[in-house]
A and B are shown apart, each in its own frame.
Chain A
Amino acid sequence: MKKTLLLWAIFAGLMCLLPLFASSGTLRVFIFANFLAIFAMSWDILSGYTGYISFGHPFLIGIAGYTTAMLTRHLGTPLFLSMPLAVLVTMAGGTLFFFPALRTRGTYFALVTLAFMEVTYGLMQVVKPSLTGGTRGLSGLPLLVTGAIPNYYLSFFVMFLIALGLWALTRSGLGTALSAIRMDEDAVKSAGLSTSKLKLFAFMLSALVAGIGGALYTHYLGSISPRGMFDINFLFTILIAALIGGEQSIVGPILGAYFLTFLLEYLRPYIPGAWRFLLYGVIALVVYYYAPKGLYSIFQAGANRFGKKTRRNGQYGQTT
């Protein structure tokens, strides 16, 4: 336990020092990676753990974004009010629409969330454009902080706190219970646990994180549009980040988010638009096939081997 806390501290320390070395361009890439990490973690706590694959996270993130955008734009609501409200609306709305499906089976849930996302995409473009900004969305929204460095620290700290919080929760009995649902939901029921209650809790956590991420992201970009929020590509990016990084681990999605973001940045000059998604997809399929536990498992395996080596050096012939 102590070793892991140390690792977290080192990670935080290194990241805090980053602005000394990196250009503001690089920092902006990190900012995006941090947000993607938040979204990927929010996906993981629900779908990675319980196995109820959600294709509706863009929907949740979008509700948060649009709520705070509309409140600040049309009612002039100050950010310290609009953002928490946005999070609450996300949690309430998400539960209202997704809980009926969550109560049943994973496959139904996956399908319903996909349907929701798609319909919302269409809806947001046409319904009440005066409020939602229609196809183009809303822009010129108030920013929370300005400048690359402040935004970097903000996005990192929020991501870090969320990571710590979720990580601590999943190390407790909650993580065991949720991952048991993924393995055999009926057996969990016969162990005397209400899986509906557990799934609902995981969902609310997930919606909470997604809401926070969505609200913050909107006030980092200063704008929001259906294209960016509700489309398949956004969903895809979040999913791939969580999968490549390693489901059911909280740390994995962070790794995946960073990996994917930097891959995107590196490839941008060489590979035009549509090829990128083709590449992501192929990479995702390959990783999923051969290392289904993602980068995190590769990372852990390496750490284990490192641990064994140092232990062997310490005690004669004894390996654990």
Chain B
Amino acid sequence: MIGIIIQGFLLSGLYALIAVGFTMIFSVGRVLNLAYGVYIMLGGYVYYVLAQVLSLPKIPSFLGAVLAGVAFGISTYLFLVRRLEDNPIAVEISTLILAVVMQAVIILVFSPAPRSMWPLVPGVIHLFGVTISKNIFLAMIVSWLVLGALLVFVHKTQLGRAIRAVSMDTKGSLISGIDSSKINIVTWALSGALGAIAGVFFATYTQLDPAMWVFPLIIAVAVVIVGGIGSIMGSLVAAHIVGFLETITTGVIAPELRGVFTLLLIIVILIIVPKGLLGREEI
């Protein structure tokens, strides 16, 4: 029981990070970035190359992974999305195509076989009589730190507040003189960074796989639908609901049924509360 609770919290932290990176673009740019999972994938693979293949020390490898995420995020926006901005359907489709293309690229560079990654911090610790890997524990700590920093950024800095303004009302913020292009670049960069950070941990938690970009998307979907759009708090709460649901499913019911209850939850929420539990927008 305690094990489930602890595991739930650990996983939810990571899920929250994944979800927030995704919903940022959704709230600010009103577009669906289906290539978001690629940032996670890149984070994992780049860290792998830097730390395991090239044997660089951990911190620079980590930063390298984050940089890769940021670079890819900004590139996706500048070269693909910006031109298609007023056609959200085109963005949906082209980001999906981009994701599949990147999957093919990863297969070509790394081979389609999944690989295991060494944990960032090996070993286990004992908490309340439960054994948990230090790696996952670190993942949760880092996730919370990053999310905390993000909350501060978004509420206390001018750039952050500008981002919030755009996410609430694009037209209004444009009239107030906010440069939407700059905001978008920052948002996509942040999204890439968050995704990459999540990716490094996610890859150690599961494994490296050219198709690993899909699952984080599903987590993000679940959190968006359950929590609604418009607040980071909403995403945090929803991430915990989803995280615990998954932990209980895999731990208590059956590991194979992993995504099923999440999907059922999605449908139930869509039927009863389409706006999401804490959503701000009218559907």
By a beta-carbon cutoff of 8 Å, the part of chain A in contact with chain B is: 51, 53, 55, 97, 100-101, 103-108, 110-112, 114-116, 118-119, 122-123, 126-127, 182, 232-233, 236, 239-240, 243, 273-275, 277-278, 281-282, 284-285, 288-289, 292
Give the contacting residue for B104; candidates A55, A101, A278, A292; CB below 8 A: A278
In the complex the two chains form, is A110's CB within 8 Å of B97's CB? Answer: no
A123:B224 contact, CB within 8 angstroms: no
Q: How far is the CB of B227 from chain A (nearest CB, A)?
A: 13
Which among A119, A127, A232 is the interface contact of B100 at CB below 8 angstroms? A232
| Interchain CA distance A55-B95 in the complex, whole Å | 13
- A114-B267 CB under 8 A given contacts A232-B100, A236-B100: no
Inter-subunit contact A126/B263 (CB<8 Å): no
Q: Are the C-beta atoms of B215 and A53 separated by less than 8 Å?
A: no
Whether A104 and B218, one on each chain, are in contact in the complex, defined by CB atoms closer than 8 angstroms, is no
Per CB-CB distance, the 7 closest pairs between chain A and chain B, nearest first, are A281-B101, A119-B259, A100-B270, A278-B104, A126-B256, A111-B221, A274-B107
Q: Is the CB of A110 within 8 A of B94?
A: no
A110, B104: Cβ atoms closer than 8 Å? no
In angstroms, Cα B90 to Cα A106, docked, is 12
With contacts A55-B96, A115-B221, A243-B93 known, what are 16 further pairs, Cβ within 8 A?
A53-B92, A100-B267, A100-B274, A103-B274, A106-B89, A107-B26, A108-B270, A110-B34, A114-B214, A115-B218, A182-B89, A275-B104, A275-B108, A278-B101, A281-B104, A285-B94
Residues of chain B lying within 8 A (CB to CB) of residue A107? 26, 32, 88, 92
Whole-angstrom distance from the CB of A146 to the nearest CB of chain B? 34
Chain A residues with CB below 8 A from B217, complex form: 111, 114-115
Question: Closest CB-CB distance, B33 to chain A, in whole Å?
Answer: 11
- Chain B: residues with Cβ within 8 Å of the partner, total of 44
Query: Which B-chain residue is minimally distant from A292 (CB atoms)?
Result: B90
Residues of B within 8 A of A119 (CB): 218, 258-260, 262-263
A239 B104 Cβ-Cβ under 8 A? no
Q: Inside 8 A of A122's CB, which chain B residues have their CB? A: 256, 258-259
* Majority-rule SS of A interface residues: helix
Q: How far is the CA of A198 from the CA of B108 in the complex (A)?
A: 43
Contact across chains for A239 and B108 when beta carbons are under 8 A apart: no
Q: Which residue of A lies closest to B268 (CB)?
A: A100
Q: Which of A115, A126, A288 contacts B93 (CB 8 A)?
A: A288
Q: A115-B218, A115-B266 are in contact. Are A105 and B283 (CB under 8 A)?
A: yes
Say yes or no: A274-B283 contact (C-beta < 8 A), given A114-B217, A118-B259: no
Q: Can you identify 29 A-B contacts, CB atoms within 8 angstroms? A: A53-B89, A55-B96, A97-B267, A100-B267, A101-B270, A103-B270, A107-B92, A108-B224, A110-B32, A110-B92, A111-B225, A112-B267, A118-B259, A123-B259, A232-B100, A232-B103, A232-B211, A232-B214, A236-B97, A236-B100, A274-B104, A274-B107, A275-B108, A277-B104, A278-B108, A282-B101, A285-B98, A288-B97, A289-B94
